Every structure is written in structure tokens, then in C-alpha cells.
Structure 1
Amino acid sequence: MHGDLVEEVYMEQPPGFVAQGESGRVCKLKKSLYGLKQSPRAWFGRFSSVIIGFGMQRSMCDHTVFFKHTNDGCILLVVYVDDIIITGSDAAGIEALKSFLKEKFHTKDLEVLKYFLGIEVAHSRKGIFLSQRKYVLDLLDDTGMLGSKPCETPMEQGVRLVAGEGEAFDSPERYRKLVGKLNYLTITRPDIAFPVSVVSQFMQAPMRTHWEGAVGIVKYLKNAPGKGILYADHGHMRVEAFSDADWAGSLSDRRSTTGYCVFIGGNLVSWKSKKQTVVARSSAESEYRAMAHVTCEITWVHNVLKEVGVEVMKPIRLWCDNQAAIHISNNPVFHERTKHIEVDCHFVREKV
């Protein structure tokens, strides 16, 4: 994993090892070392050049994905630092790629994918099931909640967490560590995406109520630690998306929260719950901003599928439950529903 350096980099001689008669001198690095700023870039640059030498192309939508179209199908390679997944429809091409990697790097073939970066993969006749069961059990053990009573919901309905209210939590580092782990868990648990996004807003100065909210999510996870996502064959490759927003849902700054999910072939592949960056002055505006976010996501998903040679059934459907936002998307002319947005534009323009 020591990539080649393009620029000249020097380091001090390591403590406890000074070459005889060479005190005061420095070492010139030929390859990058761990801890060096250039190390990640140098390693990925070297790995990319080797993979491209095999005939793979780097995805323009996601730079950690490489693909190659062959007469027998497609080969896909996904890399995270030095952990690699290889898949595709060309079995002979996959074997050739494995042999090529063994020649260039010290690699180990772990056969069929079962575990990757904390994500457990189970294959069955129904499809592929992704979960983080071990990760959840380790989280329960770390927080001392293996013996706690499980909750039915990740967050109680009607609970509103506000910044700066109540008693300050005595260990902010512990809170940040827990929320960080919960954030990683949303990879396979869309059911906790919203409550995790809420507790993530108080990282700087968490209160006792915020900690209790995070603990509530952990107790909910104990209810079903092996819950995850099943990817099955539903007989089609339609791309569908759903968007929603809670207008002025945050009590502290009255910003709305965007929520969306994208399905490919009836399987959930992308989802997010995130507070909007500005205050929306109407429900139509907040819903329309949510539609804009999910439209960007749909475009990205479509481009990824196009690169790897998957034909997408068109038109791609975007579902929204706000009639005003739907009318705005169909009619670009300002009308009564968006008058306040136009007034704001003209008011600022006049002042400028």
C-alpha cells in the first residue's frame, strides 16, 4: 500500500534510529508511508493506473468504481482503500482480473462475498440480504445495553429535541462516538435514518435529553439487531423515487427536513434524511427543495446504471404528495403558490 511519490518528500530519522555519523540529516522517501498527507492519493493513483492498465474504466459518477464491458458481459470492481469487491456477468473476465491483481499486489481471494467493512452479506434463493448484525451487537456491548429493554420505535412520536435546553451531558466525546457509530449503521438501516439525523445536530454541545434520544435508538436496535435490506429479483428494472419534507419541523431554527428514497427494480438503493440549508416560507417551497435533492440523486443513479450497461425503463417516476410542488414542476411560470419566493427575489434585488 505504499504508493509512488511524484514530488520530493523528506522525513526526520526515526527516534531511536540514527545512522552512524549522520545525525542532523534527513531521509528522502522513495515511497509514501502511513501518516503522510500524500499517502492516500499516492496509493489510489498507483492502484488506478494498474487497474486501467488491465482495460478497466474509472466511473465518472463514483471514482471508487471501475468497470469493463466484454463480449460476455460486464466486470465491476469497487475499492475502499485496500478492500476490494469484484462482481459482474463475465465469470472468465473476473478470474482474469483476480490473476492480474495477484501479479501486481499481495492480494488474498476470500471467495464469495460474506463480509465487507462491517456489512454482512447473505445469499439465498430469495436474493441478497445485507445487514450489520455483528456491528449492532458490538455497539450494544460498547454502550452496556445488551441487557436493556428493547424499544418498539427508534424515537417517540412528538418528541422535539432542541439545542441548549436542559442539563448538559457530562461526556460530549461519548455522545459523538455513539452518534458516529449510528451514522455508519444507516448504511443498511433506513428505519433509523431520520432519528440519527436529528441526534446528529447536537454534536457540539449535547444535553442529557439528546443522549437519551440516542440511547433510545440503540434500544430500538436491540429489538431486531439482524434487520437489514433484501435485494431480490422483482422482474423489472424500473427506477422510482419518493420525496417528502416536514415544513418548519425544527423548533430551534424552523428549517424543514428533506426525506427521500430511490428504488431500482423494486429494491431500495438510496435514501437520506437531512435538514435543509435554508428556512422555507411555505410547505410548497420545502417540498420542492426535497424534490430537487431527489432529482439530483435520480440523475446520479441513472448515470451509474448507464455506465455499467443497465437499461433503465423510462420515464423515471418521482412521487411527491404536495400538489403545489407538482404544479410548480410542471409549470415554470411563477403563480400564486410561489409569489412569496418572487417577492423575496425582487425585495433583495431592489435593496442591492
Structure 2
Amino acid sequence: MLTKFKSSMKLEFDMTDLGEMKFFLGIEVLQRVDGIFICQRKYASEILDRFGMMDVNVVHNPLTVGFKVVKDEDGLKIDSTQFKQIVGSLMYLSATRPDIMFAVSLISRFMSSPTQLHFSVAKRILRYIKATMDYGVFYKRGSSSELIGYADSDYTGDQEDSKSTSEYVFMMGEGAVAWSSRKQPIVTLSSTEAEYVAAVGCACQAIWMKKVLKEIGQDQEECVTNMCDNTSTIKFSKNSVFHGRTKHIRVRIEKQLADIMTKALKLDSFQGLRKGMGVKAASELN
């Protein structure tokens, strides 16, 4: 398919074949015998240098467990331009780093009027980046090509407007191929409703991805499996007239990869879910 595509493009445009892709829009692509590794270590280094964070002490998770980020209207105001630049740079870095998606999405809510509190959270994320500059996602050759989605929500996680956060992660084989963490546009009245909204968003993404994969020759013949850790939501999706108490399945029973995009986690849980999405250091590939 690729050879045919290159040949057709050469007939229409004046092109030079540069061989295997190594860099694309700041993303480094390492093509190995056992798989493909993508990362942005050069861009990560540039971010740290740009914002004077090259010589800071490192941390091993982007957010402190139990710490809540609020508007902080009485806090010390900071330069919003620099804060927006940090958030924008981290947003682009999240193209290969699903492990920072929730933290970056969280601080992006306060770009209009950032304070020292928000800046300290942004600096912690940069300190985490300093510790994991060579991390990226590894797609192992020969692993399963089945698309699996994980949906989750943080019920009323926003302290200001009580809105929940929807998250999803899609896996193919041992690597994450799509991820998202964003605040829901409505105020849900129960954890079941919040989880259902997240599951619907995940299902819509699954339908779109299935069509895209078919176009590139990776047709998903079976239905795409979407994982959800709320039994009431699962039953409600099967029968819309069902109402009952919300009951969660704990992580020890069912691995829920989307948990990494809902809240700050303990270090061992964070590192375990990060590994589960295929995020690892380049040095770990050998």
C-alpha cells in the first residue's frame, strides 16, 4: 500500500524519497525489528530549556495525590502569556505522552486568569517531564491488532462547577493509539450518569476509529470492546429503563487504564497504568 501510494504521489508531484521516517512534526520515530517507538525527547528538552527548568529537581508523577486545583481567585496573579505558552507546549507534548494528558487538561482550564498555584502545578508537570524526557509509546510488532477502548469519569471532579471529567484510552496490542481527558459539558446527577456520558463519548470515538482503520487496511471485523468499571452504567447501556444503585468494580478486579486520566494517583498505581498503555523509556527497549 505504501509503495503504491508513493508511486502515485511521484506521478503528481516533484518528490524525493527520504527512506524510513525518523522525524515528523517534532515526533521522533524509531523503527525497530520488534516494533515502533515514538517519542518527543528533543521537544521535551526544548520545553525545559525554554522555561528555565533544565536544572530542577525531578518528580516521578505529574500531580500530587489528593491535591485539588481550583480557580484561586484570591491568589497571586502571574503572567498569563507565559502560562499559556507552557500549557500549549505541554499539550503538543501529550501527542506521545498519554501519562500527562489529565494533568495538562486540568491546568488548561485556568489559562484565562492563572495564579501562582496554577503555575506551581505546571512546574511540577515540567519536573516530571525532566525525569521522563526519553519516554514515549512503544508499538510491539506482532501484537494483537484488536482495538479496545477504556472509558472512565471523575464524578463532580471540578470543585467550581461540579462538572465531571470524561476520559478514554484506546489500545491496539500493547500501545495506546488514542486518548482524551476533558470536562463534560453538563452537570451529571450521579456517578452512573457521569460514567454513561464518558462511555458514550468513548463509543463515538470507537465508531470513528473503526472507519479510519478500515480505510488503511486494518478493518476491525468484530465489534470494538469498550471497557467500563461501573456496573450500573453497563446495565443501563443494555437496558435504558434500568435504574439501580451505582456499584464500582475495583481496580484490583478489572484493570481500568483510563484511571490515569481521571485523578492524581499513588506512584505505584500511576506507574503501573503508564506501563499498561505502552509508555516506556527508550532505554527500556533493549
TM-score, normalisation: structure 1: 0.67
Q: Tell me the residue number matched to 2:180.
A: 272
| 1:119 and 2:66 correspond | no
Choose the corresponding residue for 1:161, options 53, 56, 69: 69
User: Aligned in 2, Cα 1:175/1:235: closer, same or farther, shift over 3 Å?
Assistant: closer
Aligned to 1:257: 165
Q: Partners in 2 of 1:129 and 1:187 — Cα distance? A: 13
Query: Is the 2:232–2:244 contact (alpha carbons within 8 Å) kept by the matching residues of 1?
Result: no
Identity %: 35
**1:211 is matched with which residue?**
119
The match for 1:307 is 215
Paired with 2:121 and 2:12, the residues of 1 have a C-alpha distance of 46
Which 10-residue stretch deviates more, 306-315 or 266-275? Answer: 306-315
User: Which structure's residues are more often strand, by fraction?
Assistant: 1
Partner of 2:11: 100
Q: CA deviation at 1:294?
A: 0.4
Matched ranges for 1:27-106 at <5 A: 74=1, 88=2, 91=3, 93-103=4-14
CA distance in 2, matches of 1:235, 1:220: 29
* Aligned counterpart in structure 2 of residue 147 of structure 1, from 51, 55, 77: 55
Pick from 174, 190, 207 the counterpart of residue 98 of structure 2. 190
Shift of 1:238: 1.1
Where structure 1 has 5 or more consecutive residues not aligned to the other structure, the ranges are 1-73, 75-87, 339-352
- Work out whether 1:109 is the aligned partner of 2:109: no
Residue 149 of structure 2, aligned match among 231, 235, 241: 241
SS of equivalent residue, structure 2 residue 224: strand
Distance 2:127 2:173 in 1: 33
For residues 108 and 182 of structure 2, the distance between their equivalents in structure 1, rounded to whole angstroms, comes to 10
Structure 2 residue identity aligned to 1:99: K
* Structure 2 residue matching 1:277: 3-state secondary structure: coil
Tell me the residue number matched to 1:289: 197
Amino acid at match of 1:304: V
Q: How does 1:219-234 map to 2 (within 5 A)?
A: 219-234=127-142
CA distance in 1: counterparts of 2:84 and 2:103, whole angstroms: 15
CA distance in 1, matches of 2:19, 2:97: 26
Q: Are the aligned partners of 1:238 and 1:313 in contact in 2 as well (CA < 8 Å)?
A: no
Aligned residue for 2:194, secondary structure, equals helix
Aligned partners of 1:336 and 1:306: how far apart in 2? 38
- Asked whether the 8 Å contact 2:97–2:136 carries over to 1, the reply is yes
Note if 1:332 corresponds to 2:230.
Answer: no
SS of 1:237 mapped into structure 2: coil
Structure 1 residues 170 and 310, CA gap change in structure 2 (3 angstroms): closer
* Change beyond 3 A, Cα 1:123–1:309: closer
Aligned length: 246
Q: Does 1:202 align with 2:113?
A: no
Q: Choose 1 or 2 for highest CA Rg.
A: 1
Q: Deviations over 1:273-292 (max 9, x none)?
A: 11111111100000000001
The alpha carbon displacement at 1:337 in A equals 5.7
- Whole-angstrom CA distance in 2 between matches of 1:212 and 1:336: 42
Question: CA RMSD for the aligned pairs?
Answer: 1.7
